[in-house]
Structure 1
Amino acid sequence: MTRIVITGAGGMTFPLTLTADLLALPALHGAALVLHDPDLGRATRTAHAAQAIAEAHNLPLDLTVTDDRRAALRGATHVLLTFQVGGLEAYRTDLEIPRRFGVDCVVSDTLNPGGVMRFLRSTPAFEALAQDVLELCPDALILNYTNPMAMNCLYLQRLGLHVVGLCHSIPGTAQVISGLLDLEDQPLVYRAAGINHQAWFIHLSSGGLDLQERLRNTLRARFLPAWGGTTPWTEGAATYTGGQERVRAELMETFGYFTSESSHHASEYVPYFRASPQSVQAHLPRRWDYLRTAQGLVGQEEALTLQAVERLRIHLQPSGEFGMPIIAAQVGGPPAEVYVNVSNDGWISNLPTEACVEVPARVDAGGVHPETIGRLPGACAGLNLTGIALQTAVVEAAVQRDVLALTGAFALDPLTARLLDLPGIRQMARELMQAQARWMPPWVQAALA
């Protein structure tokens, strides 16, 4: 029997979306769904919302809610990870402490000091989870939605789990490209590969016509000053993607291909755009800040859940997230074409085997089958390597329980290295670990003591 566990089911974004996806896919209507969260009240809120959607569409829903992880995992075939350790309190220090040192990020959940800290906070939870999975459901497929995606997937694999990482940034970026090119109802055919949040759109076409040069010229005309473009102050939804894309335009002009995260987020992974407040203002004139967004949602959980329920009561269809279609394809539904984050078992030949890469994959009853890409364009692979260096160093430090190696990994972050000298990096890293000591793994706590 298919038994799907969502752990972190009290969250605001993924748990209800994934549950609605299950309801929208007929191949999963016989599956058991378990919503697990240490905060039973939050998981129960998600469960009530899911039941309301199922009842509105007269659909079956075999649902269990629990705060007991071992009870949730017993017999699981698929486990979806959607939790964040430390919540908003820890996340605030991920951003505010580096900002005091001049390292200004808007998300900081992928690389950067905040990405390292978010990973460290998660490692004790990953270790406890892995111990239970290996005992209670060793063949389960772990579908990871948590960031930092690459570090988390590499660590979970080192713990002995069969893990695939899932992110919506590539299909989301494809929609942005369609909008920039005014394709309207014409389908965009694309192929992307690289690392999470920095995958490259190495093929773009529509109606059999290659669109790379058209996209390059569109970006030049709209966003690059050397070609008469501007980066306007924008309002509304386009603030995050589409309306302010000078960063991605500059990256495509330099490296040859469009990349898979918004200009705000992409600017954090490289040393070129955030070296000064003036540079940030020139490239991203309207600031988008995920911490402010998250703080603005505090106290609105019930209202936002009700809004989601009302929308899904009227119109239920798959969200575009890959998690449930993967499971459906494995249990008898139609094959799925998805993007996955997996260890680089030859999928991209000019990136290291110890890297976690993001590539297309086909899913069927036989499992998840990543696509062999071959070589990425050399400059694109080179920029990916700067992120991979940090990711693999942090994971290795965690495996070895080595705080000195961990401090060295902070210094590999491209943006941090641009802005701070080594004494400053060491001090910032120590302040971050001290501020988050209660969430740190024991080996970090011992070093701080």
Structure 2
Amino acid sequence: MKLAVVGGGSTYTPELVDGFARLRDVLPVSELVLVDPAADRLELVGGLARRIFAKQGHPGRVVTTADLDAAVDGADAVLLQLRVGGQAARNQDETWPLECGCVGQETTGAGGLAKALRTVPVVLDIAERVRRANPDAWIIDFTNPVGIVTRALLQAGHKAVGLCNVAIGFQRRFAAALQVDPAQIFLDHVGLNHLTWETGVRLGGPDGQDLLPGLLAEHGDTIADSLHLPRTLLDRLGVVPSYYLRYFYAHDEVVRELATKPSRAAEVAAMERELLELYADPALDSKPELLAKRGGAFYSEAAVDLTASLIGSGGSRHQVVNAHNRGTLPFLPDDAVIEVQATVDAHGAHPLPVRELDPLYRGLIADVTAYEELALEAALRGGRDRVFKALLAHPLIGQYAYADDLTDRLLAHNREHLAWA
């Protein structure tokens, strides 16, 4: 089995490689190709990847290359984890929206739109090259904004599924609180990528006992602290929102906080420099503890499970993924991409039925879905007016003066990445 990782020079990659090594019985990888144009980073990451495989007795070989076509040729699955413009572009995404009094974040609001505009054309080019090399290969997208990128891939007819680590993170934390095996925890996870709620926590499967009320009663303070939201809000909602909902539920508070400290991109850039120094040590043969602070916790386990099911080596399983709506949420178009529990098998991801949602959640999901449709249109066709309309539609912006100002700033900071600008 051959897997290719586009963006293989990412400091995330050892997390992924560690999962491939530990879970080789689930996903028997014979060749892992890490492809990245950044040769220096790629060799450091590739060297550590080989040492991780060797330490854990994995028989597969790790190949590094800058040649995308060679990397995807014959691949059974291609994982996308790229960042167009690197941390420098992310730093801009997290900075200039604050100048307008709007949240600056890499996947939400105006910064998220900028990332989508830079990313979608690049991803679609990669996907076309994958299709030419092997039309049966699956594309697994971990590249943010996952919902918009996955919608672009599916709209273009690619075999693609989007993946995020938010759900598996909740699953692991709830399992620890309940002192049960994570595999026993089934989440009623619903919404869009980075706009989701856990409306139930079930033991044993989709029809199992809902343990969420007890979790909130006994562990509500801990859960609320991890989300940086008040316990009283969780008690009033009776659900657990993704921490990304804080950008909506406490927008002005978050803007004030972000304006007083370095951007997350600056923190990550410093962390990446330190990680790369660690990766250069030929004695290092396991992922360092510092990597846990980089983000992407449990990404490897989610990726292994999803890949194994899609290529047929892991059978079918329930997993939270990003896939076409197709009537699952009846208030959204069928071609919207939602993030829900699905049955995943060699034919793709098939969303499970979702219990009726409170209008509080339906309304916000519908608004952000409309924004994502406009964002994708702007990414595919370009044009200032399309960017403006997407920003105007976003619930965190919604005023024409803000949308105009943000449009000008977005274009000024991203011209080198936008062919049409």
Task: Give the distance between the partners of 2:87 and 2:383, measured in 1 at CA.
Answer: 27
Task: Give the distance between the partners of 2:43 and 2:288, measured in 1 at CA.
Answer: 18
Alpha-carbon distance change, 251 to 416 in structure 1, aligned in 2, over 3 angstroms: farther
Match of 2:323 in 1: 342
SS in 2 for 1:350: coil
Match of 2:179 in 1: 184
State the Cα distance separating 1:392 from its structure 2 match.
1.1
Q: Is the 8 A contact 1:201 1:257 kept in 2?
A: yes
Task: Give the distance between the partners of 2:188 and 2:408, measured in 1 at CA.
Answer: 41
Match of 2:366 in 1: 385
Task: Give the distance between the partners of 2:231 and 2:330, measured in 1 at CA.
Answer: 26
For 1:427, which of 392, 405, 421 is the aligned residue? 405
Alpha-carbon distance change, 297 to 320 in structure 1, aligned in 2, over 3 angstroms: closer
State the Cα distance separating 1:206 from its structure 2 match.
5.1
Match of 1:211 in 2: 211
Match of 1:150 in 2: 147
Match of 1:294 in 2: 268
Deviation per CA, 1:89-140: give whole Å up to 9, x if none: 11111111111111133xx232201100011111331232133123222221
For 1:196, which of 190, 193, 198 is the aligned residue? 193
Alpha-carbon distance change, 245 to 129 in structure 1, aligned in 2, over 3 angstroms: closer
Query: Mean Cα displacement is larger for which, 305-314 or 378-387?
Result: 305-314
Alpha-carbon distance change, 322 to 404 in structure 1, aligned in 2, over 3 angstroms: same
Number of residue pairs matched? 404
Gaps of 5+ in 1: 223-237
State the Cα distance separating 1:67 from its structure 2 match.
0.4
Alpha-carbon distance change, 158 to 54 in structure 1, aligned in 2, over 3 angstroms: same
Match of 1:77 in 2: 76
Task: Give the distance between the partners of 1:164 and 1:345, measured in 2 at CA.
Answer: 14
Task: Give the distance between the partners of 2:364 and 2:236, measured in 1 at CA.
Answer: 11
Q: Which amino acid aligns with 1:274?
A: H
Aligned pairs for 1:214-253 within 5 A: 214-217=214-217, 222=221, 243-245=225-227, 247=229, 249=231, 252-253=234-235
Match of 2:292 in 1: none
TM-score (normalizing by structure 2): 0.85
Task: Give the distance between the partners of 1:319 and 1:196, measured in 2 at CA.
Answer: 15
Q: Which amino acid aligns with 1:79?
A: V
Q: Is the 8 A contact 2:197 2:240 kept in 1?
A: yes
Q: Is the 8 A contact 1:190 1:201 kept in 2?
A: yes
Deviation per CA, 1:391-446: give whole Å up to 9, x if none: 111112233334312211112222223xxx42232122212211221112x22x2x
State the Cα distance separating 1:319 from its structure 2 match.
6.2
> 2:393 aligned with 1:412, yes or no?
yes
Q: Is the 8 A contact 2:165 2:299 kept in 1?
A: no
For 2:20, which of 12, 19, 22 is the aligned residue? 22
Match of 2:344 in 1: 363
Match of 1:273 in 2: 250
Task: Give the distance between the partners of 2:341 and 2:21, measured in 1 at CA.
Answer: 25
Task: Give the distance between the partners of 2:288 and 2:271, measured in 1 at CA.
Answer: 23
Task: Give the distance between the partners of 2:272 and 2:164, measured in 1 at CA.
Answer: 24
Query: Mean Cα displacement is larger for which, 28-37 or 49-58?
Result: 28-37
Q: Is the 8 A contact 2:17 2:300 kept in 1?
A: no
Q: Which amino acid aligns with 2:56?
A: H
SS in 2 for 1:321: helix
Q: Which amino acid aligns with 2:195?
A: Q
RMSD across aligned C-alpha pairs, in angstroms? 3.1
Q: Which amino acid aligns with 1:291?
A: A
Match of 1:4 in 2: 3
> 2:378 aligned with 1:437, yes or no?
no
Deviation per CA, 1:336-367: give whole Å up to 9, x if none: 33211012112222333232101112334454
SS in 1 for 2:368: helix
Q: Is the 8 A contact 1:168 1:321 kept in 2?
A: no
Q: Is the 8 A contact 2:65 2:71 kept in 1?
A: yes
State the Cα distance separating 1:312 from its structure 2 match.
5.2
Decide which structure has the larger Cα Rg and report it.
1
Alpha-carbon distance change, 320 to 129 in structure 1, aligned in 2, over 3 angstroms: closer
Alpha-carbon distance change, 157 to 188 in structure 1, aligned in 2, over 3 angstroms: closer
Q: Which amino acid aligns with 1:37?
A: D
> 2:156 aligned with 1:159, yes or no?
yes
Task: Give the distance between the partners of 1:288 and 1:201, measured in 2 at CA.
Answer: 31
Task: Give the distance between the partners of 2:224 and 2:132, measured in 1 at CA.
Answer: 46
Q: Is the 8 A contact 2:8 2:35 kept in 1?
A: yes
Task: Give the distance between the partners of 1:288 and 1:347, measured in 2 at CA.
Answer: 40
Task: Give the distance between the partners of 1:35 and 1:120, measured in 2 at CA.
Answer: 25
Alpha-carbon distance change, 152 to 40 in structure 1, aligned in 2, over 3 angstroms: same
Q: Which amino acid aligns with 2:201?
A: L
Alpha-carbon distance change, 313 to 274 in structure 1, aligned in 2, over 3 angstroms: closer
For 1:321, which of 298, 301, 305 is the aligned residue? 301
Gaps of 5+ in 2: 290-297
